C-alpha cells in the first residue's frame, strides 16, 4: 500500500482518481486506507494518485510493503472476484 506524508497540501486532486476509494480526508490531511490500496494493481499500470499529486508526497508505506501477487489478491477481494 502507499501512504500520504505530512507534506500533503490537501489539494484534493488524488481522492477522485483512486479506483478503490482508498483515499479520504483525515483530521488534518488526506490519508490512504491500506486495506483498500492495491497500488492500482488490477486497474492501472501506475498508481493514479502518484501521477496527479503536485508535491510527490505519496510513497510506498514501509509498514505495508506488499508483493504484486498480494496486491492482486487484494484487488480480487475488493472486487468480489475471489
Q: Give bridge partners of residue 32 from the DSSP assignment.
A: 23
Angstrom distance (rounded) from CA 41 to CA 19: 10
Q: Applying CB under 6 A, does 78 fall inside the site for ligand SF4?
A: no
Angstrom distance (rounded) from CA 23 to CA 26: 9
Per-residue contact flags (x/-) with ligand SF4 for residues 30 to 69, judged by CB under 6 A: x-x----xxxx------xxx--xx-x-xx-----------
| # binding residues, ligand SF4 (CB under 6 A) | 28
Interaction with ligand SF4 in 1-30: which residues (CB under 6 A)? 2, 4, 8-14, 17-18, 20, 22-23, 30
| DSSP structure class, residue 30 | E
Amino acid at each position: 500500500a502507499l501512504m500520504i506524508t505530512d507534506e500533503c497540501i490537501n489539494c484534493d486532486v488524488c481522492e477522485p482518481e483512486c479506483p478503490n476509494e482508498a483515499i479520504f480526508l483525515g483530521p488534518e490531511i488526506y490519508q490512504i486506507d491500506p486495506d483498500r490500496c492495491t497500488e492500482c494493481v488490477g486497474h492501472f499500470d501506475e498508481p493514479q494518485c502518484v501521477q496527479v499529486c503536485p508535491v510527490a508526497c505519496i510513497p510506498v508505506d514501509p509498514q505495508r510493503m506488499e508483493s504484486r501477487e498480494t496486491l492482486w489478491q487484494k484487488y480480487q477481494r475488493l472486487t468480489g472476484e475471489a
